[in-house]
Amino acid sequence: MSAWGYIWRNIKHRAMLSTLTIVAVTVTVAIFSLLLMSKESIEHGAQKGYGPFEVVIGAEGSEAQLVLHTFYRMGAPLGNIPYELLQQVKDSEHVDQAFGITTGDQYNGYSIVGIEAAYFGTRYNNRALQQGRLYQATGEVTLGYTAAKELGLEVGDQFTGAHGTVAGFDHEEHHSDESAHEPHDTHHSFIYTVVGILPELSNSDDRAIFTTMDYAWAVHDSTEEEREVTTIIVKPSSLLGLQMIKQQMDAQSGVQAAYSSKAIADVLNMVDTGSQLMMIMLGICTLLAATSLVLSLVASIQERKRDVGLMRLVGKSKRYILMVTIGEGVLLTAIGAFIGLLAGHITGAIISQQLFVYAGIQLQPWSLAEYELLMLIGALMLGILASLGPALKVYRTDPITLFKA
């Protein structure tokens, strides 16, 4: 019988213990795979989340909160800043492009964002829309790809928004039974009309509803003197301009300018800290999987001492015995690792859409994340190391002793 045939027969003979070992490896690898995919998606999303807009100007407060709310629709706005500041920023010699943003309203859990339509040309190079056109008049909206899909809205549909941030709203409940879950501060008198749907952009703009910047003033009947904007996003003309804009804005009372890249880096550092804690938990899972593998092989050897003794007496070499013993551990690990990798990616595919809708994390389930190949190699090395102890024990034992046992 070939070595692999012998290994496979032993695995089938101890089906229950072998299955438990494979399951332990599968669960560990699947969780590792999901963690690596999520971490990579967060990093990629953060890197392209703010486009060419390196500076965000807003009310004083947390820089991270300012940037996260502006680009990722997360959390609440810090407050508003005077509308006159927008024109001042646009007139600056250090600014290439600047756009004011008004937020604070939502529809069924999706933020309504007021910004000049020219923003899309600056950031996305005038990509063709999936349907319709960009908004032009007050009350017209262009939907992000995911927002349109989840809300079931098409060009020509109308709706009314509501005041407040998106936190706490359940997309499915509002969509399926809007009357039962109607927000308290619905703006019934202001009707939005869908005129277009954006292409899939693979960032937080997919989850927003865009309209003219003056929608907030129209909805809340603001006078010209009361007009404010939530934030201003700036594409600086140069690296020196980047620094000058921040210095000028920070010198004004009640206003701050945040570097987009620095704020996102701070957030990613916190994510890395969370990932390290998760890695500790996964390390415990890995230890349990390795222990299960060792116990499985020890039990296998106890059952097969007479078989191993007979093989040694009929001339099988120590090398052959060592190979089949280690091979069993490696095969169990390889099966578990392959199933775990497959399970992790299938799970990622199942949850990717809802994860993006609710958290803005867009997984790439059909491509290997960075370090996944290293993870598989590490799993196989773990299988080899876990097999060495039991294998060396039987390798060093005299064949007569094995046979008598």
Instruction: For 323-361, write each residue's pLDDT tens digit.
Output: 777 887 788 888 988 999 999 899 988 887 777 766 566
What domain count does the chain have? 2
Same domain, 143 and 226: yes
Q: Would residue 198 count as lying in a domain?
A: yes
Same domain, 213 and 95: yes
Same domain, 177 and 74: yes
Range of the domain at 172: 61-253
Q: Looking at 253, 288, 316, which one is the last position of a domain?
A: 253
The pTM for the full model equals: 0.68
CB burial readout 329-368, b (16+ within 10 A) else e: bbbbbbbbbbbbbebbbebbeeebeebbbeebbbbbbeeb
Q: With a cut of 70, which residues of the chain have pLDDT below it?
A: 1-3, 6, 43, 45-48, 164-189, 270-276, 278, 293, 296-318, 357-362, 390-391, 393-405
Same domain, 118 and 229: yes
Same domain, 179 and 299: no
Same domain, 195 and 224: yes
Q: Looking at 190, 225, 253, which one is the last position of a domain?
A: 253
Please give the backbone phi and psi of residue 339, each rounded to the nearest 5 degrees, phi first. -65, -40
Same domain, 309 and 347: yes
Q: Would residue 259 count as lying in a domain?
A: no
Q: Looking at 222, 253, 284, which one is the last position of a domain?
A: 253
Instruction: For 255-292, write each residue's pLDDT tens digit.
Output: 999 998 888 887 777 666 666 676 777 777 777 777 77
Same domain, 301 and 397: yes
Same domain, 305 and 374: yes
Q: Would residue 378 count as lying in a domain?
A: yes
Same domain, 220 and 93: yes
Same domain, 249 and 278: no
Same domain, 216 and 358: no
